[in-house]
Structure 1
Amino acid sequence: MSTRPTATHKELVGWVTMNDARSSVRDTADVYRGINAFVSFVADRVKFNVSEHRYESLVRSILPVGNADVAPDDTDDRPRDVHMLTGRLECDPASYPNYGAALCLVEARFDPDDQKQAYEQLAMHSRNIYAVQPHRRFLWGLTVCGTYVRACLLSNDNIYASKVVDVSGPEGREHFVELLVNWSMCESPRAGYDPTIWRNDARDKWMINVFDGGATRTYHELGICVGASSLFGRHTRCFIGKARGAEDSEKVLIKDCWPHVAEDAAGGQPNEITFLREIREKLCDVLGLAGKYPVLEAGGIVQVKGKDADMVDDTTTAATADLELAKPVLLRKHMRIAIRPIGVSLNMVDSPDELIIAVCDAMEAHTAIVRRCGILHRDISFNNILVSRTGGKVGGMLIDFDNAIRLDVEHVAGQPDRTGTLPFMSVGNLEESLVARTSLDDWESCIYLLCWLGASSVNDRDQKRYKDSPMGRILKWRNGDEGDIAEVKRQHMGSTPYFKKILAEFIVDGRYNGLRGLAMALHKTLFFNANVWPLCRGSFLNDESLERLQNGERPQEKHYDFGVDINITDPFARRAEIADKIVDDLLDTLTKARNEAIKRLYPTRLETISE
């Protein structure tokens, strides 16, 4: 791609003199042509000047790309005309323009008053860069409204915009040139790139450093299995790779993310690293759990060079330390872990019976982790249960302890915050209830997960086959705000007849009968458990039960919750008081369903011996 100006002198002059009534600029397309001309002109002059001083190897060319029908890769957006600036080193030949080559996106508007719309479009489209560039820590963007130019920095929780630069005047053009030159000359971390993940010499595979205390492990031959899918948040990415120098070692899953700082009294590490170490130590000798939970191989905070060339923790503050930005509202630390074994997405099961087995394995590990380690997961969802295959048989693994808590610290007071994925969040979680979080919240999430997959399909093949399957009621679990969803779930879970309406939305296929029966059994075991006094079951506070309790009425038969405070009539709070007993019942219910699924998948073959 040539670095010579791609637009005529008239187009360039027309853009920078838009305030003149005689301007040749008439619409947004003219604005883009003017921008491209200006950027190409600056790139040409930068190249000329650095070649005279022999600095070419230190400079990237900032070049415009426009009107390219760019596919968004790994996202749910339609392909569109995208205008972007690419930054490439002169020794690296430019490839076909795409999000993977973008330094930043450009959103232009003819009207100077369309700034808000420009911001919105920039935020919407820029997330595609995160999706396909695994080494981006933060993003740059550019908005041009009329002759008003703003540089934007897009981080995990904030979008920062520069002061307005009006390029219709010489001072504004000077500032814009300065920005382009800085992008050309700055080090890669200042351009938003992560120095601890890079391509190898052949440029066909990624390499990554994982930090563990004072040690650093390098993994190579990386395959990217999960890309960052949103502009804001943890930017979780997952890779599969092998330790460099240990070619015979098994592959590991490497998770890279930016969680909020959650200091832990045991050593100041983010919760997930601490939890995975405890789980590894306390479950390593438990028979039957191998492969059902992640074993930590290495993990820690990513280390980068600070201002004084010392190695420091990579945080959202450190990443932009020299850019004089306002301090972010939330501090995030860049965490990276390597775990094994490797699993695949839950939608890789071949049948509903395989789903039952995978979920049972995960919840078996969940129960052991709660009881042996005192750690509550708090985010049972589609992405946090993986499928594994050993010897031709399917299994499941529970992963992702970013939202976990210590029960011994926080169980009594409850945890009135929201964690998880909306369709699978428990009622108490959605409402930020003061009822203490227990394992029952995660089991409730498990029911929602099974119902969702039972109605939408357990894999891509079934989704195509049953694309017209109705999901009217279940879809309400993701529509509206948290309070609306909680109210809907209370209604859906509140009675057996209504829950049967949920089951009626399951795919009509005999293979789904076992999954439908399991969902029904788990619902009964959790919401209408026989150990709970009948008037305190279901999902709604029962004023009649409180009045009858206060009048001294007790059930004739003894229930497991007989010793619970008579003033506790909220069914969620009452069940929380006897959570361990109900979990025993739930695990027994799920285990029986798994055994039946195994019989259907792997029936015993009897050979007939004839004379």
Structure 2
Amino acid sequence: MCKDSEVPLYREETGWRNGLEERLYLEELMQRQPCVFGRATTCWRGHVNEDTQLVIKDSWEYEERPEEGVLLKEATEAGVQNISRYYHHETVCVGAAIDGVRNNARKGLQDASGRNPFQQRQSAISESTTSSVTSGHESLLNAGILHRDISIGNVLLNEAEDDAFLIDLDLAIKINREKASGAPSKTGTKVFMAIGVLYGEHHSFMHDLESFFWVLFLVCVHWNGPERPSETKAEYENWNYKNTVELADIKAGKVIHTYRFNEELDSKVTSYCEALIPCIQQLHEVVFPDGKRWLTEDRRLYSRMKSVLENAIEALEV
């Protein structure tokens, strides 16, 4: 293992795609996930030629889970919108055999790059980010794939910062699968998980839509704008250390009473994000009608959430 400072900023790799040898140029380390237990995901920015810019992802994977590359390929072939596009994936091998040490490591290439919303350079706050990825999630669902890990780290802005897309299908599943995915029953990034998932309910698209609500809420209580440090608030940072049932109880307590939730928005949302408070309040009304969780699936929640977000975009543009 080497430190980020020891990783070469530019190097060449040779691989095979569609039976043809192809040279890949790695330009920049985008992300390395530090961990003792986990997938140790590392992402590079690179290219094959001037017209083909790529993101290269190296990670460990459990063999019993669906391959992310296969799911991403299916999504790309189905024309799914606002999802990172598939280019190539493969299992790491030494010679003709799978590496006995890294037998669960796979390399994936995606024909898309972008930046985390916290890293955006423009000063405008864009609900189009959430609206775009909500549309992407619905498009993915229409292709028979459920994402199951909606989080701030899996939402990227494009380089022009006028659109957004979802990444990372590591925990995604085929909806009509005949056996379990191998992922834990409580799946996702904990602080963004829906209340029902934290309680151990079967994961549905309704839970992912609730996660979009928590993403926007947590962005607004931390983000101070481009090129300014985000605020650290102990109350929400502690969510990382709660067990899932405790966190579910905390979240349920926040949304059950509308007036208390509105008071929290007024006191906790950063001054930079104050303009988004009406949007979050309206999302609260559709995601938690009368302060209650949805217990049945309703595809109309997609259109209701997008309507709120699109109206908020228009209001900010006036």
TM above 0.5: yes
- Alpha-carbon displacement from aligned partner over 1:545-597 (angstroms, at most 9, x marks no partner): xxxxxxxxxxxxxxxxxxxxxxxxxx442xxx242122221122222223434
Alignment of 1:153-164 (within 5 A): none
8 Å CA contact retained: 2:192, 2:215: yes
8 Å CA contact retained: 1:132, 1:227: no
- Give yes or no for the alignment of 1:494 onto 2:256: yes
Question: Residue 428 of structure 1: CA displacement?
Answer: 1.8
Moved more, 218-227 or 472-481: 472-481
Change (3 A) 1:319 1:213: farther
2 CA distance for matches of 1:452 and 1:249? 36
Question: Residue 459 of structure 1: CA displacement?
Answer: 4.3
Corresponding residue for 2:279? 518
2 CA distance for matches of 1:339 and 1:507? 35
Given candidates 426, 429, 439, the residue that maps to 2:205 is 439
Alignment of 1:83-482 (within 5 A): 100=2, 129=3, 205-209=10-14, 212=17, 214-215=19-20, 217-243=22-48, 246=49, 248-262=50-64, 264=66, 270=67, 272-283=68-79, 289=81, 292-305=82-95, 311-314=96-99, 318-319=100-101, 333-350=104-121, 353-371=124-142, 373-390=143-160, 394-409=162-177, 417-433=185-201, 436-457=202-223, 459=225, 461-463=227-229, 467=231, 471=233, 473-482=235-244
Question: Residue 238 of structure 1: CA displacement?
Answer: 0.6
2 CA distance for matches of 1:304 and 1:507? 51
8 Å CA contact retained: 1:254, 1:336: yes
- Alpha-carbon displacement from aligned partner over 1:456-486 (angstroms, at most 9, x marks no partner): 115463436xx4x7x4543443232112111
- Report the AA paired with residue 378 of structure 1: R
8 Å CA contact retained: 1:206, 1:222: yes
1 CA distance for matches of 2:108 and 2:15? 7
Give the unaligned 5+ runs of structure 2: none
Match of 1:394, SS state, is coil
Change (3 A) 1:263 1:216: farther
Change (3 A) 1:460 1:337: same
8 Å CA contact retained: 1:226, 1:239: yes
Match of 2:38, SS state, is coil
1 CA distance for matches of 2:208 and 2:258? 20
Pairwise CA RMSD: 2.9
Question: Residue 431 of structure 1: CA displacement?
Answer: 2.0
Match of 1:525, SS state, is helix
8 Å CA contact retained: 1:259, 1:335: yes
Given candidates 560, 585, 610, the residue that maps to 2:304 is 585
- Report the AA paired with residue 58 of structure 2: D
- Alpha-carbon displacement from aligned partner over 1:49-80 (angstroms, at most 9, x marks no partner): xxxxxxxxxxxxxxxxxxxxxxxxxxxxxxxx
8 Å CA contact retained: 1:357, 1:594: yes
Change (3 A) 1:441 1:249: same
Question: Residue 394 of structure 1: CA displacement?
Answer: 2.1
Question: Residue 211 of structure 1: CA displacement?
Answer: 5.3
2 CA distance for matches of 1:346 and 1:474? 19
- Report the AA paired with residue 97 of structure 2: V
Match of 2:159, SS state, is strand
Query: Structure 2 length normalisation: TM-score?
Result: 0.87
8 Å CA contact retained: 1:477, 1:489: no
Moved more, 516-525 or 351-360: 351-360
8 Å CA contact retained: 1:212, 1:300: no
- Alpha-carbon displacement from aligned partner over 1:193-219 (angstroms, at most 9, x marks no partner): xxxxxx6xxxx6233355556555331
Change (3 A) 1:420 1:215: farther
8 Å CA contact retained: 1:211, 1:300: no
2 CA distance for matches of 1:236 and 1:263? 16
1 CA distance for matches of 2:12 and 2:83? 26
Report the identity percentage.
Answer: 20
- Report the AA paired with residue 538 of structure 1: G
- Report the AA paired with residue 301 of structure 1: T
1 CA distance for matches of 2:309 and 2:270? 22
How many residue pairs get aligned? The number is 316
Alignment of 1:25-40 (within 5 A): none
